[in-house]
Amino acid sequence: MSSDADLHALRHSASHIMAQAVRKLFPNVKLGIGPAIEDGFYYDFKTGTPFTTDDLKKIETEMKSIIKSKEAFERFELSYGEAKEFLAKQNEPLKLELLEDHRDETISFYRNGDFTDLCAGPHLEHTGQLKAFKLLSVAGAYWRGDEKNEMLQRIYGTAFATKDDLQAYLTQLEEAEKRDHRKLGAELDLFSIHHKEAGPGLIYWHPRGSIVRRVIEDFWKNTHEDHGYQLVYTPHLVKVDMWKTSGHYQMQYPMYFTEIDGDEYGVKPMNCPGHIMIYKTQTRSYRDLPIRQAEMGTVYRHEKSGVLHGMLRVRGFTQDDAHVFCTPAQLLDEMLGILGLIDTILGTFGFQYQAYLSTRPEKSVGSDENWEMATNALREALDKKGLPYIEDPGEGVFYGPKIDFKIKDAIGRTWQLSTVQVDFNLPERFDMRFIDSDGEQKHPVMIHRAIFGSFERFMGILIEHFAGAFPIWCAPEQAIVIPIADRHLDYCKEVAKKIRAAGLRAVVDERNEKLGYKIRSAQKQKIPYMLVAGDKEVEEGRVSVRTRAEGDQGAAPVQEVIDAILAQVREFK
């Protein structure tokens, strides 16, 4: 029954009812727009004094009384002229502005009780059908989404068909809050940000977070070398001449600049020009191609202060970047290779993903033939891999088509992660060449690609996805050895030493506390294996095994436990 369309109508009606309530409580507000959105609805208002949280409660109460009176939603139509007159009379300047986009159309309105709004619909039959809603937050929003326009006050709310659905949604919000990587990052001692002393948007990786990162980096490097990539390093500081050649300087890319010996330098916001420098050190033959260069390149971008968010949106971050330089004829094979690599790496973390193909935008560089050739190669690669994809027409970058990948995390949120972009622009700007089999000099095709996007962002996503309980293979500590009393400490140290000798990560809880306390503490740290040793275990050369997920598993010989953990690590469990 409650299809997407029904839910949409429900929420849209909720936004009308909210606007009606706001109108009643604050007669001077002017109406902006009020659509249904993915998780609810909002309405924008022009008002002299911003709304407060207390106002939300009052508005909710008012809404409930409108719902109680079961006002019917009635549709009626006016000509453009009549509509204009009507809205002028209502004194709704913003609505009048919207009307201008519909000059040659019949204009539809919806009326319920004393409230009438310019609206395409559809709506509920009457206000009494809104059973479950909640107002969530107040925010500023530019009129018509343009930062040059004035800022309106937006109220967000959500509505569902049933109270249970609403409650489930609110519970999910709470669950997301519990998993917040900023909270878990501090609790699990993974990273910190020192906004005041060291600057916002810059991440400090603690020892425990660094282990996770290092293990993933090693995996990433090995996998790339297996796939024919060469690892490189390039400088962070580059003279602006290079950013002028790349075009970033002219387009005022948000970079950091400094002056050295009278020359202007920029901190790199991306790695591609560096890789191009390496390419250009030799005359390349078609026989040398494809060249695949990979770098975990740390870049800095001057992001606006308001967009910074934990590890997910920062000013300094490390891209798992790579560039492939190839001939047009090699493009398909290279794309196939990249799609396979993405599948391997994302699959290791257990992520399902969805591909999106973005085609040529209105403003673009490059010839028609190139765009067609590249777009076809991307399509063909996706088809050959049997990868279903959604096409985003016109959403490509100005320099070439791209494929993006979005993953779904443990609580159903989607994150844009990997991206693969064909580039016709930079090879020309940097005059990159190779000598083809016909003896002619040609520009290679360049592919930019990142799988995690950035380590910082990926780490943030991983923390939230796993709720801090990292898979055994990349967990900061794989095992903690817990003595029951002080006299078992030496034995526990021996056990930890053996585990480490096997290439695993283990620590000993040496604190003078009871077993229950240490278990609780290890459990909170989400350590996969807790190995307990008392008199019995010492005597038998065993440890009692407790896993963070399954609890007490009983005693086992130390070597057996080590083998079991090793087996899981090998399988990236």
The set of catalytic residues is 272, 301, 319, 321, 323, 402, 448
Token digits of residue 307: 């967009």
- Centroid of chain to Cα 242: 30
Q: Give the separation between CA 45 and CA 19, rounded to whole angstroms.
A: 8
Whichever of 57 and 514 has its CB closer to RNA, that residue is 514
Token digits of residue 363: 């403003």
Beta-ladder partners of 452:
none
Whichever of 89 and 304 has its CB closer to RNA, that residue is 304
191-210 footprint of RNA as x/- string (CB under 7 A): --x-xx---xx---------
Whichever of 24 and 309 has its CB closer to RNA, that residue is 309
CA-CA-CA-CA torsion sign (340, 346, 350, 355) = negative
Looking at residue 179, its amino acid is: R
Name residues contacting RNA, limited to 245-304 (CB under 7 A).
Answer: 247-248, 251, 253, 270, 303-304
Number of residues that bind RNA (CB under 7 A): 65
Q: Which of 566, 555, 560, 500 is nearest to 530 (CA)?
A: 555
3-class state of residue 187 by DSSP: helix
Radius of gyration of the chain from its Cα atoms, rounded to whole angstroms = 29
Q: Does 186 bind RNA (CB under 7 A)?
A: yes
Phi, psi torsion values for 401, nearest 5 degrees: -75, 165
Q: Does 238 bind RNA (CB under 7 A)?
A: no
Q: Does 52 bind RNA (CB under 7 A)?
A: yes
406-435 footprint of RNA as x/- string (CB under 7 A): ------------------------------
Q: Give the separation between CA 72 and CA 125, rounded to whole angstroms.
A: 6
Whichever of 124 and 496 has its CB closer to RNA, that residue is 496
**Least separation, in Å, of the C-beta of 229 and RNA?**
20
**Least separation, in Å, of the C-beta of 303 and RNA?**
6
Q: Give the separation between CA 335 and CA 324, rounded to whole angstroms.
A: 10
Q: Does 151 bind RNA (CB under 7 A)?
A: yes
- Centroid of chain to Cα 358: 18
Q: Considering only 89-97, 104-112, 546-554, 563-571, which stretch makes contact with RNA by CB under 7 A?
A: 546-554
Q: Does 461 bind RNA (CB under 7 A)?
A: no
Phi, psi torsion values for 162, nearest 5 degrees: -130, 165
**Least separation, in Å, of the C-beta of 81 and RNA?**
31
Q: Considering only 372-380, 473-481, 482-490, 563-571, which stretch makes contact with RNA by CB under 7 A?
A: 482-490
Q: Give the separation between CA 357 and CA 544, rounded to whole angstroms.
A: 52
3-class state of residue 457 by DSSP: helix
Phi, psi torsion values for 193, nearest 5 degrees: -130, 135
Task: Please answer whether residues 449 and 320 qualify as being in contact, where contact means their C-beta atoms are separated by less than 8 angstroms.
Answer: no
Name residues contacting RNA, limited to 327-346 (CB under 7 A).
Answer: none
**Least separation, in Å, of the C-beta of 82 and RNA?**
31
Contact pick of 8, 84, 102, 182 for RNA (by CB under 7 A)? 182
Contact pick of 27, 207, 306, 388 for RNA (by CB under 7 A)? 306
Residue 150: count other Cβ atoms within 10 Å of its Cβ. 10
Q: Give the separation between CA 75 and CA 80, rounded to whole angstroms.
A: 16
Whichever of 86 and 156 has its CB closer to RNA, that residue is 156
Contacts for 144 with CB less than 8 Å, ≥ 6 apart? none
Token digits of residue 468: 């801090």
Name residues contacting RNA, limited to 382-401 (CB under 7 A).
Answer: 397-398
Q: Does 307 bind RNA (CB under 7 A)?
A: yes
Whichever of 96 and 186 has its CB closer to RNA, that residue is 186
Beta-ladder partners of 537:
none
**Least separation, in Å, of the C-beta of 421 and RNA?**
7
Whichever of 66 and 94 has its CB closer to RNA, that residue is 94
**Least separation, in Å, of the C-beta of 65 and RNA?**
26
Q: Which of 119, 116, 139 is nearest to 44 (CA)?
A: 139
308-327 footprint of RNA as x/- string (CB under 7 A): xxx--x--------------
**Least separation, in Å, of the C-beta of 516 and RNA?**
4
Beta-ladder partners of 441:
435
Strands of 119-179, DSSP E: 132-142, 151-160
Q: Which of 124, 152, 128 is nearest to 138 (CA)?
A: 152
Residue matched to tokens 């310019």 = 118
Contact pick of 64, 70, 75, 536 for RNA (by CB under 7 A)? 536
Contact pick of 7, 25, 78, 139 for RNA (by CB under 7 A)? 139
Q: Does 497 bind RNA (CB under 7 A)?
A: no
Contact pick of 537, 556, 562, 565 for RNA (by CB under 7 A)? 537
Q: Considering only 4-12, 221-229, 235-243, 513-521, which stretch makes contact with RNA by CB under 7 A?
A: 513-521
Whichever of 14 and 311 has its CB closer to RNA, that residue is 311
Name residues contacting RNA, limited to 13-42 (CB under 7 A).
Answer: none
